[in-house]
Amino acid sequence: MNKKIEIIDLKTIKYKDAFEYQEKLFLKKIETKGENKINNNHLLFCEHPHVYTLGKSGVENNLLINEKFLNKIDATFVKTNRGGDITYHGYGQLVIYPIFDLANFSILIKKYIFQIEEVIIRTLLEYSIKGERLDNAAGIWLTDRKIPEKICALGVRVSRGITMHGLAFNINTNLDYFKHINPCGFQDKGITSLEKELGHKINIDEIKNYVKKYFNKVFMV
């Protein structure tokens, strides 16, 4: 059992390049697990250039624009193998990819999802913001308003107890890009960011430090 979490900051990186990087770690962990060796745990941080990603259970019609308009707004569209529907990644959004061996933490998928959500909930409390879970709607939401607004999306893949994909936390994100999709398939909910809630831009390195802190606290239990 190895609960140590190694942080890798990929900075700004194309979605496909980040996918290949995390998949390499993911497949190596599966191989190591087959050899009955103890795996390391990696936590990747990055930002992506404008991209819409569709999960394996998603509906392509939730992308509301065509390829010509994608080019106009300097965005791409990628189908991927995580769970969930469509979401947006872009500058000012902290994307978090835990590549963990759940056996190291003696937890199953349901508990893992609860714990990564808990990391974001505790991080938001540092800014006096109450993030909440919603039934049948993955991610972290702010509910003290007419309709719930998502501040952090969640989509994961788990195979043989190894995780990939993860969280997209809106920090200084340009929320206009969400107007071109039904985020995560919902038409009756909204999107927000930390910048929108606080009224000023946030130092993303400060957020990374809080996320590191709470991943260690939550997963070291």
pLDDT tens-digit profile of 154-174? 999 999 999 999 999 999 999
Of 113, 116, 98, 211, nearest to 162 by C-alpha is 98
Catalytic residues, by residue number, are 184
Segments forming the whole domain that contains residue 161: 5-219
Q: What token pair was written down for 142?
A: 């702010």
DSSP 159: E
Calpha distance 57→79 (Å, rounded): 10
Q: Find the CATH number of the domain harbouring 81.
A: 3.30.930.10
- pLDDT tens digits, 23-79: 999 999 999 987 888 899 999 999 999 999 998 888 888 899 889 999 999 999 999
Q: What token pair was written down for 109?
A: 């998928």
- CA 207 to mean position of chain CA atoms: 14
Q: How many domains does the chain have?
A: 1
Calpha distance 174→179 (Å, rounded): 10
